[in-house]
Amino acid sequence: MTIDFQLIYQENHIAFCLCLMIGTVLGYLGTHVLKRGVVVVGISLAQFAAIGGILAEHVFCEHGHSHSHTHSHENEPLAYFCSISAVILIAVFYSVVRKYKKNISLEAIIGVTYAIGFATAVFIISICGSQELHTERFAGDLNAIMGFGSILPCIMAFGAVTICAIVFHKPLTHISNNYDFKKESISVIFWDILFYTMMGVSISYAIVHIGVVMVFVFLVVPAVIASLFTTKLLFQMPIIVLAVAVASMIGLSVPYIAYDSWKLELSTGPHIGLMLGLILVVAALVKVATGHIVLSKR
């Protein structure tokens, strides 16, 4: 069996750059999400961003897009507008509910609304006459990338989020480190809105290429891997970049190797996610083996 690495590079270098960019930015946001203890919010925001895209595709567009299997039309400004609007609406909903909720945790409300969001997406797709969920909504369709032009909006959005992350790094980190104590003050609400807007924009652009579940995986898994080794962001970021790079490289190569060897046509997205999961397991085992994580008997 010979592996044509040149072909794999030629076919995948754009997808690799995209994964590295999305994984690094979402990984940075993931470190904040972990510190704030609002892990489920990532997948919920991604689900509502997807609903925005589905609404744009099935309800607002009237030109027979509903049966298309590709998501090229989702690059349209309307789809991005609907996705970002849906994310901002749900983020405002969570902010308001957090203040007035009684007897129930915010995580429970987020978990429940995520499931309702998923069902709503299926519901909209079904009543618009389509019977399939289109699995690329979950794990993306990196094979559909046709040159740097097709990912340009995503590069611009992530560039803007990166600039915000660098400029506002100090206040965002300060709030994440003291999330439980400071949530009532007005300035914190402003930084909260900025943080969720950054998340909303990056998620809305990322799901077009990598899907809802992969957004959640890129948000949480690299950040958890980095948190196993260090709590300092300066050291966490190289670990995040390395984990994303290794997982993307192997995940993108697997379908080519499988096709060359066994003529199997596979999607790339899930394999990147599974590789990240594998790296997490290996990292955790290394920490247990070296005695840095002690398994409690209770």
Partner 1 sequence: MLTSEAVNFFLMQLLLIAVVLILHTYIGLHVIRRTLIFSDLALDQLAAFGILLCIVINSNEETGNLVQLNDPITYIYALGAVTFGSFLLAVIKPKSKNIPREAVIGIIFAISLLACFAITDPVNGGEMLFDGTLKGDLDFVTWGLVKVTVIVYLLLLVFHYIFRKKFIALAENPETIKNAKFWDFLFFLSQGIITILIVPVAGVFLAYVFLMLPAAMATMFKKQWKSALMLGWSLGFIACTLGLFASYNIWDLRFFENWPYSSTLVVFMGAFFLTALLIRCIKPLKTNDKIKGTC
Cα–Cα distance, 13 to 270 (Å, whole number): 18
Cα–Cα distance, 168 to 181 (Å, whole number): 20
Instruction: List the Cα angle 236/240/241 in 5-degree steps.
Output: 120
289 binds partner 1 (CB under 8 A): no
For the bound state, the minimum distance from the C-beta of residue 247 to partner 1, rounded and expressed in Å, comes to 12
Cα–Cα distance, 135 to 210 (Å, whole number): 11
Task: List the helix and strand counts (H, then E) for the chain.
Answer: 11, 0
288 binds partner 1 (CB under 8 A): no
Binding region for partner 1 (CB under 8 A) out of 19-27, 123-131, 157-165, 186-194: 123-131
User: Which one among 1, 63, 64, 132 touches partner 1, defined by CB under 8 A?
Assistant: 132
Cα-based distances in Å from 267 to 138, 160, 199, 252? 12, 29, 26, 9
Restricting to residues 190-229, which ones interact with partner 1 according to CB under 8 A? 213-214, 216-217, 220-221, 224, 227-228
User: Which one among 10, 126, 178, 187 touches partner 1, defined by CB under 8 A?
Assistant: 126
Cα–Cα distance, 82 to 90 (Å, whole number): 12
User: Is residue 115 classed exposed, middle or buried when 0-12, 13-18 and 19+ CB atoms within 10 A define those classes?
Assistant: exposed
Q: For partner 1, which is the closer residue by CB, 65 or 271?
A: 271
108 binds partner 1 (CB under 8 A): yes
295 binds partner 1 (CB under 8 A): yes
Residues in touch with partner 1 (CB under 8 A): 34-35, 37, 39-40, 43, 97, 100-105, 107-112, 115-116, 118-120, 122-123, 126-127, 129, 132-133, 135, 138-139, 213-214, 216-217, 220-221, 224, 227-228, 231, 258, 264-267, 269-271, 273-274, 277, 280, 293-298
